């Protein structure tokens, strides 16, 4: 059995020692749609599990940290935030070729398009978008000290460090020079707001980083915690709004991330989503424009990294050939947001 990114014999031996109650892993298959960390379904004799490992090649320092991701879902398992149940972590790169972890399989679908959403009413779609805001508020309401995440990050100075971090990753990943990017980084630094009180942040919160039970359109689990840390919760909100596709936004339609599910009848628009988050969280927001611009900046760097891996032939899956063109669009949208707010 040959699966990209998996040494099957190594996994069989390791699971026999560390997850004996699962039984022998009979098959491993890649879950399509992953643009960063790779996700697989492991069909074991007695349990169905999910395996997460870093991408193939071009792994940037501090990115794709499996131990952090496993730690945060372990901490959140007893909280109101829905997450998959953690099973086991492996730091030994010799087992399958990279660090990885196993978690319980959660029945549900990562929905990116209107077609994937299936049959539903506008009322169900609206409720799903409300739940997405409410779950984000629940993440930010977790007492991170109480659940054992006090050392998970440094909330103070989060935004300035994020600018530095993503700026460094841009320099490592960029496939071309971009004066517009350089100007954007400078504008964001000049406009850094006073930060909100620190919370746990997901770091990449959007609908297709949740698993949805389609029949009832309920969020079964929040996944893809690879960029989670402690920081400014409004950065999460700004990035979610960056991903949001409002009906009639043709420019946004040309950015091949997160799909078009939010234009389905019944979904709240971006402004309504932000208002519902404010209501659910009780937070006051004074400079949402900055946070959305920052979200576009961050997503531009992420997409440039994916584009770099594609050019190296190191991506697994389809749909990467057009992704590089989204980078200048995201940078332009960030500038417009700063101009308008």
For the segment 259-314, what is each residue's pLDDT rounded down to a tens digit? 899 999 999 999 999 999 999 999 988 899 999 999 999 999 999 988 888 777 76
Helix, strand, or coil (residue 101): strand
pLDDT, one tens digit per residue, over 16-37 is 999 999 988 899 999 854 456 8
- pLDDT per residue as tens digits for the range 158-212: 999 999 999 999 999 998 899 999 999 999 999 999 878 899 999 999 999 999 9
pLDDT at position 33? 42
More confident residue, 341 or 91: 91
pLDDT of residue 58: 47
Delimiting residues of CATH 3.30.200.20 domain(s) in the chain: 8-104
38-44 β-sheet, strand order: 25-30, 38-44, 48-53, 100-104, 86-90
Question: In sequence order, what are the residues at sequence separation of 6 or more whose Cβ sits closer than 8 angstroms to the Cβ of residue 213?
Answer: 107, 108, 220
Evaluate if residue 321 carries a pLDDT over 90. Answer: no
Is 60 exceeded by the pLDDT of residue 59?
no
CATH number of 8-104: 3.30.200.20
pLDDT score of 317: 58
Where are the CATH 3.90.1200.10 domain residues in the chain?
109-339
pLDDT at 62 over 60: no
CATH superfamily of 109-339: Aminoglycoside phosphotransferase (APH), C-terminal lobe (3.90.1200.10)
Residue 159: C-alpha distances to residues 156, 180, 335 (Å): 8, 20, 18
Joined tokens for residue 86: 């953690």
Among 17, 61, 66, 15, CA closest to 42:
15
């Amino acid at each position: 059995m040959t699966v990209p990114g998996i040494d099957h014999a190594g996994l069989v031996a390791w699971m026999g020692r560390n997850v004996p109650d699962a039984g022998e892993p009979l098959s491993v298959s890649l879950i399509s749609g992953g643009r960063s960390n790779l996700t697989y379904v492991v069909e074991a004799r007695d349990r169905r599990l999910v395996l997460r490992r870093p991408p193939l090649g071009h792994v940037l320092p501090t990115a794709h940290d499996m131990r952090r991701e496993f730690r945060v879902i372990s901490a959140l398992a007893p909280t109101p935030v829905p997450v998959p149940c953690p099973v086991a972590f492996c730091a030994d790169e010799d087992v399958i070729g990279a660090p990885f972890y196993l978690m319980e399989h959660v029945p549900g679908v990562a929905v990116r398009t209107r077609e994937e959403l299936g049959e539903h009413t506008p009322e169900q779609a609206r409720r799903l978008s409300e739940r997405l805001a409410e779950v984000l508020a629940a993440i930010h309401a977790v007492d991170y000290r109480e659940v054992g995440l006090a050392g998970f990050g440094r909330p103070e100075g989060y935004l300035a460090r994020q600018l530095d971090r993503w700026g460094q990753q841009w320099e490592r990943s960029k496939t071309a020079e971009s004066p517009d990017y350089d100007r954007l980084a400078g504008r964001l630094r000049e406009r850094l707001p006073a930060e909100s009180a620190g919370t746990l942040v997901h770091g990449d919160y959007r609908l297709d980083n949740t698993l949805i039970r389609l029949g009832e359109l309920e969020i079964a689990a929040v996944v893809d915690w690879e960029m989670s840390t402690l920081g400014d919760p409004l950065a999460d909100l700004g990035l979610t709004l960056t991903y949001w596709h409002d009906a009639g936004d043709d420019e946004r339609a040309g950015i091949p991330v997160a799909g078009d599910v939010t234009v389905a009848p019944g979904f709240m628009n971006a402004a309504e989503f932000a208002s519902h988050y404010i209501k659910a969280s009780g937070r006051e927001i004074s400079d949402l424009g900055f946070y959305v611009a920052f979200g576009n900046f961050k997503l531009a760097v992420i997409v440039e990294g994916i584009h770099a891996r594609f050019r190296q032939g190191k991506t697994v899956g389809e749909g990467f050939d057009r992704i590089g063109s989204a980078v200048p669009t995201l940078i332009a949208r960030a500038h417009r947001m700063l101009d308008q707010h």
